[in-house]
Amino acid sequence: GENVEQHPSTLSVQEGDSAVIKCTYSDSASNYFPWYKQELGKRPQLIIDIRSNVGEKKDQRIAVTLNKTAKHFSLHITETQPEDSAVYFCAASRGQAAGNKLTFGGGTRVLVKP
């Protein structure tokens, strides 16, 4: 089955700096890659997603890039703010052929220092 690895497990950045989280996946048939943000004790919330026919997607301060050949995708947060502090999860899916199941990475705890 699919395996998703996420790095780093923790990331500390100064407010205003950029943060980058990287994920690799094993199943070349995966075609959908969402990113979720989870605050302590809360539900994961979708922040951005990308499909395999797109190499990059941006939404304000957040961007995701996908390299299908290398089977990795990354989350970029620019101009970080204290409210960006949370745990971020990447995930991968093979789509309808596999029940649209998501396989999650282990998470990255991001701390933005004021």
Partner 1 sequence: DGGITQSPKYLFRKEGQNVTLSCEQNLNHDAMYWYRQDPGQGLRLIYYSQIVNDFQKGDIAEGYSVSREKKESFPLTVTSAQKNPTAFYLCASRTGQGSNHPQHFGDGTRLSIL
Residues lying near partner 1 in the complex (CB under 8 A): 1, 6, 31-32, 34, 42-46, 49, 51, 89, 93, 95-97, 99-107
Distances (CA, A) of 110 to 18, 23, 62: 11, 15, 14
Taking the complex as a whole, the smallest distance from the CB of residue 97 to partner 1 amounts, in Å, to 8
Counted residue by residue, the chain has a size of 114
Taking the complex as a whole, the smallest distance from the CB of residue 11 to partner 1 amounts, in Å, to 14
Query: CA 36, CA 23: separation in Å to the nearest integer?
Result: 13
Name which of 17 and 59 has its Cβ closer to partner 1.
Answer: 59
Name which of 82 and 106 has its Cβ closer to partner 1.
Answer: 106
Name which of 42 and 113 has its Cβ closer to partner 1.
Answer: 42
Query: CA 62, CA 93: separation in Å to the nearest integer?
Result: 21
Taking the complex as a whole, the smallest distance from the CB of residue 38 to partner 1 amounts, in Å, to 9
Taking the complex as a whole, the smallest distance from the CB of residue 16 to partner 1 amounts, in Å, to 27
Query: CA 69, CA 71: separation in Å to the nearest integer?
Result: 5
Cβ-contact 18, 74 below 8 angstroms: no
Name which of 43 and 70 has its Cβ closer to partner 1.
Answer: 43
